[in-house]
Amino acid sequence: MLTRIDHIGIACHDLEATVEFYKATYGFTDAHFEVNEEQGVRECMLKINETGDGAASYLQLIEPIREDSAVAKWLAKNGEGVHHIAFGTDRAVADEAADIAGKGVRVLYDAPRNGSMGSLINFLHPKDCHGVLTELVQKA
């Protein structure tokens, strides 16, 4: 079952400048930085609130580190903005993805990959989700 908005993924050209914007403008302070080589991005998870399932909701600010990464291509086409949304699941993300695939929605990876903060993730094809690139997240 999907139990929360895990994060909103926002693509940006300059990670530090964008994090500073969110901190200075809104007062968000809880920031976790990491690099995801597989996805070709540097990112910052800014915690916004606790959620009723015992987890939390974040903004995920992402900056490409390779020109051939999916996020770099997306930024070149669209400019900065919301890149994807992510729901947290309370079970194995592989099981969640398999059930959703059974409803006719294309799942992007054959097996879960590594997401932020030790999570396991998969993505759903935006063309099957009314234009929204949608991520499924199993918390670490």
Nearest to 28 by CA among 13, 8, 11, 42: 8
Please give the Cα distance from 27 to 20 (Å, whole number): 10
**Residue 79, both tokens:** 């400019």
DSSP state of 123: E
The distance of closest approach from Cβ of residue 113 to a copy of itself in the complex, given in angstroms and rounded to an integer, is: 20
Mapped onto helix, strand or coil, the DSSP state of residue 138 is strand
* CB nearer a copy of itself, residue 8 or residue 117: 8
**Are 5 and 47 in contact, with CB atoms under 8 Å apart?**
no
The distance of closest approach from Cβ of residue 95 to a copy of itself in the complex, given in angstroms and rounded to an integer, is: 14
The distance of closest approach from Cβ of residue 110 to a copy of itself in the complex, given in angstroms and rounded to an integer, is: 20
Active site residues: 7, 43, 60, 84, 135
* CB nearer a copy of itself, residue 38 or residue 76: 76
Who contacts 7 (Cβ-Cβ below 8 Å, separation ≥6)? Answer: 45, 57, 58, 59, 60, 85, 86, 116, 135, 137
Residues lying near a copy of itself in the complex (CB under 8 A): 1-5, 8, 10, 12, 18, 21, 24-28, 48-53, 57, 59, 79-82, 85, 87, 100, 103, 105, 126, 129-132
* CB nearer a copy of itself, residue 1 or residue 111: 1
